[in-house]
Amino acid sequence: MTSVDLGALSPELGSAYFEAPEDPQTAAWLASTRPHGWLATQTQRIARRFASDFEVNARLGMYSLHLGGTATYRALLGPEHGLGTLLDVGAGTGEVTAMMAPLFSSARCTETSPAMAQRIRRLGFPCDVLDLASTDVPGTFDVVSLLNVLDRTARPAMSIDRALGHLTDRGRLILATPLPARPHVDLGSMTAEPDEPMGGEGDSFEEALASLVNTLLTPRGLRVVRWTRLPYRSQGDVAQRFYEHDDALLLCARG
């Protein structure tokens, strides 16, 4: 498990920390996921000259993603969680959605990439092709998740505001992002700076987490109910077996 210096955090944030459990789905993913071979790797690298990594990976069906198994999300949501509805914003490959879905009566997704939306639908989840920062989804949900979205969107603050607008009164927000944050926006084969700050800066994971909370959560009256630190992994290629980011995974509530 990845360690955390709780003494470097505020008492409120430190007391909300929990150790992510060992879960069989993570162990199974690590054991069964093999890196892409030379041909697939070279094909992806050539295609990246003309489109973003994200769009290329969607169209080629490459780079499986994993951020904890169902046991991790059960621990994050806590004993007070009952079956409800989930909206997973920017769901990517849909594999993380599949880890959360057993804890809900229904799950719906959004994605900006039509190719990635097709990949999600093949897993059995309805998916709307839209950017939540500018376009609404019908209805309200008991939980809205934005997992590894904030550091890749032009408007992280607006994305949270719109997500809150889709929550029920007692709803919960799940966020995940690599820390310290290195935000950027994919524009085809190019990248740009986001339009809004997301925080997440610092020389350490703990400093970056405090910055994220102070920039995006506290001004919106959100409190961190529970959080943990865990690896966000991507399937590897000829360069290395897995790619890994150091993520904070947070459950937030109003008030």
Which sign does the torsion angle of CA 209, 152, 107, 60 carry? negative
Beta-carbon contacts of residue 44 (< 8 Å; ≥ 6 apart): 36, 56, 57, 60, 62, 237
- Tell me the pTM: 0.93
Q: Alpha helices, DSSP H only, in the chain?
A: 11-15, 24-32, 38-47, 53-60, 70-77, 95-100, 114-121, 156-165, 205-212
Burial class (CB in 10 A: 0-12, 13-18, 19+), 203: exposed
Give the span between the Cα atoms of 157 and 100, in whole angstroms: 24
Domain annotation covers residue 1? no
Which residues span the domain enclosing 158? Answer: 6-254
Domain annotation covers residue 237? yes
Domain annotation covers residue 11? yes
Domain annotation covers residue 64? yes
What three-state secondary structure class fits 191?
strand
Domain annotation covers residue 241? yes
Give the span between the Cα atoms of 74 and 71, in whole angstroms: 5
CATH of the domain at 173: 3.40.50.150
Domain annotation covers residue 108? yes
Q: What confidence score (pLDDT) does residue 214 get?
A: 96
Check if the beta carbon of residue 29 is closer than 8 Å to that of residue 254.
Answer: no
Element (H, E) at 63: none
Check if the beta carbon of residue 254 is closer than 8 Å to that of residue 222.
Answer: yes
DSSP letter for 87, please.
E
Hey, what are 191's tokens? Answer: 């990248």
Domain annotation covers residue 93? yes
Per-residue pLDDT of the chain (255 residues; tens, 9 = 90+): 568 999 999 999 999 999 999 899 999 999 999 999 999 889 988 988 888 777 888 788 888 999 999 999 999 999 988 889 999 999 999 999 999 999 999 999 999 999 999 999 999 999 999 999 888 898 999 999 999 999 999 999 999 999 999 999 999 999 999 999 998 887 766 778 888 999 999 999 999 999 999 999 999 999 999 999 999 999 889 999 999 999 999 999 998
Place of tokens 């996921």: 33
Q: How many domains does the chain have?
A: 1
